[in-house]
Structure 1
Amino acid sequence: MVEDGSRKVLALMVAAMLLDAGLVARAEALAAKEPVKLVAHRAVYEMTLDDARSASGITGIDGRMVFEFTGSPCDGYSLNMRMVTQMTDTQGQTNMTDLRSSTWEQGDGQKFRFQSAQYLNDKLGDVTMGRAFRASPDAGVKVKISQPAAGELDLPAQVLFPTQHSLALIDAALAGQSLFQARIYDGSEKGRKVYDTTAFIGKMIKPGTDSDKLEPAAKEKGLGDLASWPVSIGYFEPKGGDLVPSYQIDFRLYANGVSRELLIDYGDFSIHGTLTSLEYLKTAECHPAP
């Protein structure tokens, strides 16, 4: 049961890709008709078990996730993540899982590279590596996987890469939509998984509404002075007809792109992420062509 839990925790890395920096920053920039500048940052979250059903076989989760986002429309967007957790089962046995992920996405969404590795008790397990591309913005997606086994996938044109999805989500919010559905490819599940997603976008929470409830790291970086939005995204198996998602991630997204109040629900257990450290990173100036 613990190994099954580890595989599900790997999905957190997929979900977390959707926390791309600058999501709401783009919304505000578009509203002001100014060029978009995605915010580069490094955030650290303390990961703990929120709830677990007896069927999960899990009694405790304790660890840390480091999330680093950099890039621009000119250079593309890079996301590096590492999450180390200790999972305890009902018999008291503890296993340490070390998940590492790195992706790069071209600014126009035509190229995407991904690689990830999972260690269990310091022993290397699954390794995934590949790339995806489309010949034009409206073309279908061609995926070439090099690890764990060579393979190719042909995906329809409507499939979005992670940052593409983030930008489309903002456009939906600007249009006044509270519901946005899309298909996402991010290289998860050995590079062979495409998820149907449904995102719910809540109403804007005005600056200063709950500044007194922020963690020290959030207060120090002025998150309380920014507008924020509650977002909930469900991930479904394609054409599965399931009413319940494979997993769901809820988070609070701030106007500079930083997220807090993470909650990842896998059905039989859920994980909570608390922001403990936040650093803004320098990025090269970008002046994309109109």
Structure 2
Amino acid sequence: MTGRSGDWTDLGRAWTAPFPGGVLLAAILSGTVMSGTIMAARAAPDIRLAPHRAAYDLTLATIKGGDTVSASGTMTYAVTDACTAWSTQQELRLQTVSRSGGVTSLVSDYATLESKDGRHLVFRTVQTSDGRPVTRVMGEATTGPSGGEIHYTQPVPHSVTLPAGTLFPMAHTAAIIRAAGSGAPSISPMLFDGTGDDGAQYTYVMLLGWGGPPSSSGFPALAHLPSGRVHVAFYTPSSHDMRPDYAIGMRYFANGVSDQLDMDFGDFTMRGTLRSFSLGSVPPGGDRHRC
């Protein structure tokens, strides 16, 4: 999952992970996993992310001020194993009601193609408000041990440098799961997910416990997996504010699937409940690691 909050342009950055989907804080927060360790997590043989499709119902949890008095929505997230890459599609639909009674329908359509070695990402984000286009972000990016670069084609063609150690969404998920399984209390990798045209984000990830199966999940394919709670905060590199732009909590399973979402948009928070879930197919031959 991915994310920042604020106006609707930022709401599309709500999950990469998660989904969910990238810290100036790295210098002052403890429990950090250094970039070399994070880079190694990309190819970790013990991290087996699963192709799947998940649908979530979003309900209003709390109102903390501002103009929004009601919110509801849905989110679908699909991961497809494309042999040498992961293809992801996420659609977030949110309806909010203001204090004056105005209703706004917000849609974020997000798609990526990420190489399994974690070094190349093609991305597209399209956001609309009441059917009117708000923003469109497209391009591709590369990253590696010494850094990388983003080449945007929309909204305006331009390039942005990526710092060394920056992770793309699926690699970010793998890094979280590996750190949780090793008992680390937190990590702080940089993330680029393709939801904004201003480059990478800082993330601070708190790992709140990792336990073996069975879990309380009602889906048998998940109940037999190790799982644990995770809290991810997202920060703008240029900001000196200790408050995150966006934060999300979730339960992660060892295959990268999430449930029990807590999404903080600043003025209000929403709870995400996993309504339906199915595992996807692997490439021909039956082995997703040999195509």
Give the TM-score normalised by the residue count of structure 1: 0.82
The more displaced of 230-239 and 172-181 is 172-181
Partner AA of 2:11 in structure 1? V
Task: Check if 1:198 corresponds to 2:198.
Answer: no
Alpha-carbon distance, 1:255 to partner: 2.9
**Residue matched to 1:138:** 145
The CA deviation string for residues 114-137 of structure 1, in whole angstroms up to 9 with x for no partner, is 001112112223111010114xx3
* Distance in 1, Cα, partners of 2:226 & 2:17: 22
- 1:203 is paired with a residue whose SS is strand
The equivalences for 1:140-289 within 5 A come to: 140-189=147-196, 191-208=197-214, 211=216, 218-284=217-283, 285-288=287-290
The CA deviation string for residues 72-123 of structure 1, in whole angstroms up to 9 with x for no partner, is 6x42111101111211111111111111000111111121110011121122
Partner AA of 2:203 in structure 1? T
- 2:13 is paired with a residue whose SS is helix
The CA deviation string for residues 32-77 of structure 1, in whole angstroms up to 9 with x for no partner, is x96653211100000122112222x1011111101001226x4211
**Residue matched to 2:19:** 17
Partner AA of 2:12 in structure 1? L
What percent of counterpart residues are identical?
26
**Contact 1:18 1:163 (8 Å CA) reproduced:** no
* Distance in 2, Cα, partners of 1:8 & 1:154: 21
Report the aligned-residue RMSD. Answer: 2.4
**Residue matched to 1:91:** 100
- 1:171 is paired with a residue whose SS is helix
**Residue matched to 1:215:** none
The equivalences for 1:7-156 within 5 A come to: 7-14=9-16, 16-18=18-20, 36-55=47-66, 57-71=67-81, 74-134=83-143, 137-156=144-163
**Contact 2:106 2:129 (8 Å CA) reproduced:** yes
- Taking a change above 3 Å as real, the CA distance of residues 279 and 141 of structure 1, as seen in their structure-2 partners, is same
Specify which structure has the bigger relative contact order, considering alpha-carbon pairs within 8 angstroms and separated by 6 or more residues: 2
How many residue pairs end up in the alignment? 263
* Distance in 1, Cα, partners of 2:230 & 2:113: 24
Q: Which runs of 5+ in 1 are unaligned?
A: 20-29, 212-217
- Taking a change above 3 Å as real, the CA distance of residues 67 and 154 of structure 1, as seen in their structure-2 partners, is same
Alpha-carbon distance, 1:153 to partner: 0.8
Give the TM-score normalised by the residue count of structure 2: 0.82
* Distance in 2, Cα, partners of 1:140 & 1:266: 30
